[in-house]
Amino acid sequence: MKAFAASITAWLSAGTAHAAIASVAATPFLNQVDNQTWIIGNDVWNMTQGLQFGVKLYYKDRDLVGDAWGHYVSYNGAANNLAWTSARIVTNGTYHSTPFIDVLFTAAEGDMHWVIFQGQHGAYQYFINHALPDLGEFRTLWRLDNTTFPNGRTVTKDGPLPPLSEYVAANKVQDETWLAPDGKGYITKYDWTSWLREQDYYGVYGDEVGSWYINPGKDYYNGNHLRQELMVHRESGTGDAVQLNMVHGTHFTASSNDAFPDGKMWGPWLWYLNNGSQPDAAAQSHKESASWPYPWLKDPAYQTRGRVSGRLVLSDGRPASHAAVFLGDNHPNKTSLDMGSTYYYTTYADKSGRFEFRDVRTATYGLQAWPTPNSSIVDVTTTLLRNDVVVGKKGVTQLGEVDWAISNRTRVFQVGDFDRYSYGFEYGGAAWQHALVNNCPADLVFKVGVSETGEWCFGQTYLGNWTIEFDLSEDLEAEKDALLTVSLAGYSSGASSTVWVNGGTKVGNLTSGAPQLANDPSLYRSATAAGEWRLFEFGFGAGVLKKGVNTITFELTKNSTWHGFMWDSVILEL
């Protein structure tokens, strides 16, 4: 209780502080200091909440915020921090004999809830929208003391955060990216990106304390399986250790500006404190996943859920083994990565094509599916879409066999698996790191049947020609049609390409600024596997092809540093 007393006495007189401590020593509490200052916590931790920032976070007899900014909620980056106008306890109950309170902080845009259990190291949090504007980024976060939390951990990266001394102003090359002081490599917060829907727990930690986010339910996130997001980093201006909860994000998408219905709920997730132990955080993550959806949250819409099951079968009779399956907007007008107004569910089919979604909020959805890495269907160039999937209360929506129509054209060649990722290509899927695409060449020749997939590089950014050579055993009839399918794992604006057949026939172009090539920041924000997936089909008369050696060339005619094309697959069919 030493830390609790320190926080209380910072705001209250000595006489009232003693009474407050005695009344809340064993139970979660909310104490109002004035009309814009409150103290919340329990017998383990406590935090002083101001008009915008939560500071004076006491745990294990120390303040974990120190000179950092603390906890806040904001949208569109740091342009709009929510300001709290009032706070009150909306639930005061018990669950499994443990007392808890639900503290609601009100802002003009909506309500931030802290659910605090007795003895809990941390708190559950959730936000309910009432008047958020159309937006791309909405987040909660902690900015914590940099000496207490020198390390960061995501599901794909773990280690020390760069020291503030390495952020040399003269070495800044772009948004939150600096040339390393030794001139070897770069320092950027985007190297701490990870796959959002794969994360188990993430946060910042030191030898004595760890602060983690555990998000067992991910249906409130925008986007599909490919959503990647910045999770932890060093704040370059102050050195704060940042624990970022991007519940609606656009760091690697072309467009995710959404309007939200009144009542849209993000969360609950668990903000968890411990002694810095990752095994303990992992165990807590497993426990939270087993408990989700949380039974203590009595919101009817949150608790009313059903299931969806079925089996995906390709039109050639094959099961859609290990396909990515997505439950999203009904009759969509956005890509599945860009959807974000309501609730979204992701899973994978098994080897026989069977899939199931559990604990789905009742609504009407659109079902989508596409090939995924290492599946047996990476030759499939179509996406399944089935609309009007109705999920009812506590029932199972059984879709039975879902037919997935695929191309019946004759395949001439395929370079790279068709799976929306750059995996298999040189550097494709490497750890997030800035400027890796600089290692890819300006000119490249890939010989079908001779070259290995790894000889095609994951990204093209330099002016030059990338050429695919392939043999045909006979001349083709002039009246036949050919179809060149170009699948991009990502695209960052500023680069344009002309597509040639046999050097003299232009069959298409990939033009910077075209609606289909809106910018996603993947290549210049450290991504190596994916950004916003794009699909292009260029048809041409097969008569331009000939017996013997033929070529498809992608001539990059316009470029910009670290901007260009991230490849998924190139396919020629007749």
Supply angle C-alpha 360, 365, 370, rounded to 5: 95
pLDDT of residue 196: 97
pTM of the model: 0.94
**At 111, which helix (H) or strand (E)?**
strand 110-117
Of 275, 278, 308, 565, the closest CA to residue 437 belongs to 565
pLDDT of residue 474: 86
Instruction: Read off the pLDDT of residues 104-115 as tens digits, 9 standing for 90 and up.
Output: 999 999 999 999
For residue 18, is pLDDT > 50? no
For residue 548, is pLDDT > 90? yes
pLDDT of residue 23: 40
pLDDT of residue 131: 98
Class of the CATH domain delimited by 304-404: mainly beta
Average pLDDT over the chain, rounded to whole? Answer: 94
For residue 7, is pLDDT > 70? no
| Topology annotation, domain 2-302 | Beta-galactosidase; Chain A, domain 5 (2.70.98)
pLDDT of residue 345: 98
- Tell me the average pLDDT across 415-438: 98
For residue 543, is pLDDT > 70? yes
pLDDT of residue 76: 87
Percent of the chain whose predicted confidence (pLDDT) is above 70: 95
pLDDT of residue 26: 61
Instruction: Read off the pLDDT of residues 381-415 as tens digits, 9 standing for 90 and up.
Output: 999 999 999 999 878 999 999 999 999 999 999 99
pLDDT of residue 84: 98
CA distance 249 to 222: 7
For residue 9, is pLDDT > 90? no
- Residues with Cβ within 8 Å of 194's Cβ and at least 6 positions away in sequence, in order, are 154, 155, 156, 157, 202, 228, 229, 231, 432
pLDDT of residue 513: 81
Domain residue ranges of the chain, discontinuous segments joined by +: 2-302, 304-404, 411-573
For residue 5, is pLDDT > 80? no
Q: How confident is the model at residue 1 (pLDDT cuts 50, 70, 90)?
A: very low
Instruction: Read off the pLDDT of residues 287-319 as tens digits, 9 standing for 90 and up.
Output: 999 999 999 999 999 999 999 999 999 999 999
Instruction: Read off the pLDDT of residues 330-383 as tens digits, 9 standing for 90 and up.
Output: 999 999 999 999 999 999 999 999 999 999 999 999 999 999 998 999 999 999
CA distance 568 to 417: 7
Domain 411-573 has CATH 2.60.120.260: yes
